[in-house]
Chain A
Amino acid sequence: MEARAIFETLKEKFGDAVVELQGEGFTPPFVVVAPGSVRDIARFLKEDPALSFDSLMSLSGVDYKDRFAVAYHLYSMKHRHAVGMKAMLPRESPSLPSVDDVWPAANFQEREAYDLFGFVFEGSKDLRRILLPEDWEGHPLRKDYKYAEFYHGIKI
């Protein structure tokens, strides 16, 4: 199914929770959704027989300077089509529901986004830092990250 059609389907089903379609310059195009309804939309995307996005290719955090975003890249093994889903988050206390019960593959990547961006995925079954040490300060992939000079007295 084309991205435009997917967007229409979602718009019809979820109304205002589906904000816009980022088409031009985006491959694959993104359906921008409200962060609060990410899990419901994800479940619909996975379970609707015409969509059946059973594979979460990638889950990435992005820092657009004025706001954050979480980008989901989805793929359907059955229909062989792909689409992106994006949730824009405010810079203050970014949080959104976890999708790891929809796609178990999300868990590690959510942990990564939590670690490197500081996004809180509510309802995640295991949200701990993954790449950095538990007591690391700050979230390095944010654009305003200040490089620490020392870590436990060790020069970095």
Chain B
Amino acid sequence: MTGMTARGEALRTQEMTINMGPQHPSTHGVLRVILTTDGEVVTRAVPDVGYLHRGLEKIGERVTYAQFMPFTDRLDYLAAMNCNCAWAWAVEKLAKIEVPERAEFLRVIVAELNRISSHLIAFGSFTADMGAFTPFLYAIRERERVNDLFEMICGNRLTYNYARIGGVSGDAPPGFLEKTKEFLDYFEPKIDEYNNLISYNKIFVHRLANVAVIPAEEAVAYGMTGPNLRGSGVPFDLRRDEPYSVYPKFDFKVCVGTGERGKLGDCFDRYMVRINEMRESVKIVRQALAQIPEGPVMAKVPRVFKPPAGETYFRSECPRGETGIYVVSDGSANPFRLKIRTGSFVTMNIFEKVTKGLMIADIVAVIGSFDIILPEIDR
């Protein structure tokens, strides 16, 4: 900035506006970020969402409660089971339906398995964003086995449509529970393998530690939830603190960020929370497999299901934060108003604030550490 050109004019620098996305390898979908950069340093990064808006909430007003179940698959395709169950739990809370215990256990088993597979993708795509492509394929290898299990129980590998209002679509087929246990035995040592492979790699740690630090109060104020909130050191987990389903029966730890490699609440902490949560999910599934009772898997729900008029807000712990479902019922067969509050959407709120002054490579790290998914943001 102090130099002179050949013609004697003072040299100057100019900020550059770069359009990152909606087609970009590491925006995890169709997120668009408008970057204003001074060389490699980002002075402003404004997220622009909505490229995948399908109007799920409007669709919800036109279909019946049961018919909305397949749409929840499309809410977060990496954790469709969790979204299925969240919708079922929300409607059951609204209509005060008692669900058979075996169904609840099956729901918890598939939800936790899906949490594992979702966190695997989070872990894999995050490391791929950081330039190490190999862990991604390791994660895919393990996820494949979860998909096999889901295919066994409901026939689908991505959009499961497994939960039903009042239960689940079918009992676990013979051999499912044993296969699940086999998977857990296979999978648990793999977590250590990931840690040895990449988590504590020096370059990896240097890329993540002290990047995009979010203090606890800020994380709460900005409505961050799930692993992102726990990464800032807030021990809050809906499965423990606002228990639903049969979660109170299980003993598990709420993983929080510890600031082990940098300041508390940096990208590394958010990453580590997910790695540790996989271990806790394994623990929950093990306990569920041990305690699962015999019995029916579907409650008696009338064919034409009309919940009483009223309003319910139900939130459940999904892999990407809390999925809150606000249903307004007018007593008819369709929801009168349906609002889905998703973890990714609210988390994007803080994006502009934390990315100020980072480098372009860090933007990728922040997106990866938030583990956003676009159908959940845009709905």
List residues of chain A with CB under 8 Å of any chain B CB: 22, 25-28, 30, 54-58, 60-63, 71, 73, 77, 80, 84, 103-105, 107-109, 112, 116, 129-133, 140-141
Q: Which residue of B lies closest to A61 (CB)?
A: B339
> How many angstroms from the CA of A97 to the CA of B346 in the assembled complex?
20
21 A-B residue pairs with CB within 8 Å: A25-B310, A54-B217, A57-B223, A58-B313, A58-B324, A60-B337, A62-B328, A80-B242, A103-B223, A104-B222, A104-B223, A104-B349, A104-B350, A105-B349, A107-B349, A109-B341, A109-B346, A131-B379, A132-B53, A140-B55, A141-B337
Q: B49 to A130, Cβ gap below 8 A?
A: yes
Count of chain B residues with a beta carbon within 8 Å of a chain A beta carbon? 37
Residue of A nearest to B93 (CB): A27
Does B234 sit within 8 A of A, measured CB to CB?
yes
Q: Tell whether B244 is near chain A: CB-to-CB under 8 Å.
A: no
Tell me the minimal C-beta distance from B315 to chain A in angstroms: 6
B178 sits at the interface (CB 8 A): no
User: In the complex, what distance in Å separates the CA atom of A80 from the CA atom of B221?
Assistant: 15
Contact residues in A for B50 (Cβ distance below 8 Å): 129-133
> Chain B 335-366, CB within 8 Å of chain A: the 1/0 string?
00101010001101110000000000000000
Closest 3 CB pairs of A and B: A105-B223, A25-B310, A60-B339
Nearest opposing residue in chain B for A107, CB measure:
B349
B interface SS class: mixed
A91 to B357, CA, bound (A): 43
Which residues on the A side are within 8 Å of B55 (C-beta)?
A: 140
Interface centre among A26, A60, A129 (most CB of B within 10 A): A60
A133 to B22, CA, bound (A): 14
Closest B residue to A133 by beta carbon equals: B50
**In the complex, per-residue mask of B297-312: 1 if CB is within 8 Å of any chain A CB, else 0:** 0000000000011111
Contact A131 B378 (CB under 8 A): yes
- The reply to whether the CB of B236 lies closer than 8 angstroms to some CB of chain A is yes
B311 adjacent to A26 (CB under 8 Å): yes
A141 in complex: contacting residue of B58, B222, B308, B322, CB < 8 Å: B58
Query: Could you say which residues of chain A place their CB within 8 Å of the CB of B346?
Result: 105, 108-109
Judge whether B87 is part of the interface by a CB distance below 8 angstroms.
Answer: no
Contact of A105 among B53, B57, B221, B326 (CB under 8 A): B221
Query: Which of the listed residues A22, A57, A84, A132 has the most CB atoms from chain B within 10 Å of its own CB?
Result: A57
A132–B55 Cα gap in the complex (Å)? 10
Given contacts A25-B308, A131-B378, A132-B53, contact A73 B222 (CB under 8 A): no
Q: Using Cβ atoms and an 8 Å threshold, which residues of chain B touch A22?
A: 311
> Please, which residues of chain B bring their CB within 8 A of the CB of A54?
217, 220-221
- Chain B nearest CB from A147 CB (Å) reads 10
A57 to B379, CA, bound (A): 17
How far apart are B327's CB and chain A's nearest CB, in angstroms? 10
Contact A84 B313 (CB under 8 A): yes
For residue B9, CB closer than 8 A to chain A, the reply is no
Cβ of B312 and Cβ of A77 under 8 Å apart? no
Complex Cα distance, B378 from A27, in Å, reads 26
Contact indicator A103/B322 (Cβ below 8 Å): no
Q: Check if A58 sits within 8 Å of B326, measured CB to CB.
A: yes
The yes or no answer to B241 lying at the interface (CB within 8 A) is: yes
13 additional contacts, CB 8 Å, given A57-B324, A108-B346, A131-B53? A27-B313, A54-B221, A55-B223, A57-B313, A103-B221, A104-B223, A130-B50, A131-B50, A131-B378, A131-B379, A140-B58, A141-B57, A141-B337
A57 in contact with B341 (CB, 8 Å)? yes
Give the docked Cα–Cα distance between A50 and B26 (Å): 44
